[in-house]
Amino acid sequence: MSKKVLIVDDEKAIVDILNHNLKREGYETLEAYDGEQAVNLAKEEKPDLILLDVMLPKMDGFSVCKAIRQSSNVPILMVTAKEDVVDKIIGLELGADDYITKPFSVREVMARVKANLRKWDGIETSKKDNDTIEESSNQILEFGDLTLDTFKYDAKVAGKSTDVTLKEFELLKFLAVNKGKIFSREELLENVWGYEYFGEVRNVDVTIRRIREKIEKDPSEPELLLTKRGVGYYFNANS
């Protein structure tokens, strides 16, 4: 069955371009030209992925993302002409999985759509498999006060669940499983986001920053997620 992608943008020319290329790749498409329509379509049609512009009539993209996240974990790729890192932080904090800045290449968008759908399919398959087996100790990762439950996709600090997003959990889990090994931002994009380097390495920086704010005692002096200057990030094996 073909995957369904909801395109949300108030510029018809952009919708037409994305619509044409997505259909050429075999996807079914839906179109929304304002925020309210996007929220309604997301609830009614349950798309497999949403391409969401930030600047929209009636409801902006951030409000749309927040509304959809109340009932769905569908992959959301935010698309905007703004390059302000603050906008990236807001979008990722509200639960967006990825961020694409205009002007973008169609090839880049198609690659990210495929990567996010592939990653989401893997997570859903893992959850279904987990439903058929009993929870086991190897699905619980413990590092001091931090506990990662890979069965429930839950992160706890000192026994209290944190509000990490799905993407934040995936990145945290990947680094924790490979503790002590340093990964460049490009390698993290490939392994966690699932696509080759296209220049959006700031997505990694923003996500690392958000995770630190949720799990570290002092985010400005992290003990778990560390930076190797000029190289990349790693999970502290001695934590």
Q: What share of the chain is helix, strand, coil (3-state, %, to 5)?
A: 45, 20, 35
Report d(CA 121, CA 74) in Å as an integer: 11
**Predicted local confidence at residue 164, as pLDDT:** 85
Q: Are 190 and 184 in contact (CB under 8 A)?
A: no
Rg (CA), the chain: 18
Amino acid 89: pLDDT:
77
Class of 4-123 in CATH: alpha beta
Q: Could you give the residue range(s) of every CATH 1.10.10.10 domain in the chain? A: 134-235
72: tokens are 């769905």
Note the pLDDT of residue 122. Answer: 60
Give CA–CA dist 230/117, Å, rounded.
Answer: 31
Whether 48 contacts 120, CB under 8 Å: yes
Which stretches of the chain are assigned E, i.e. beta strand?
A: 4-8, 28-32, 49-53, 76-80, 98-101, 140-143, 146-149, 154-157, 160-161, 225-228, 232-235
Q: What is the pLDDT along the chain (239 residues), one digit of tens a residue?
A: 689 999 999 999 999 999 999 999 999 999 999 999 999 999 999 999 999 999 999 999 999 999 999 888 899 999 887 666 677 778 888 888 888 888 888 988 998 898 888 877 765 555 555 544 444 445 888 898 999 988 778 899 999 988 888 888 989 999 999 999 999 999 998 888 876 655 567 788 888 998 999 999 999 999 999 999 999 999 997 76
CA distances to 54, 58, 66, 155, 208 from 161, in Å: 30, 34, 20, 6, 18
Question: What stretch(es) of the chain map to CATH 3.40.50.2300?
Answer: 4-123
Copy the structure tokens of residue 163: 């509000």
Assign domain 134-235 to a CATH class: mainly alpha
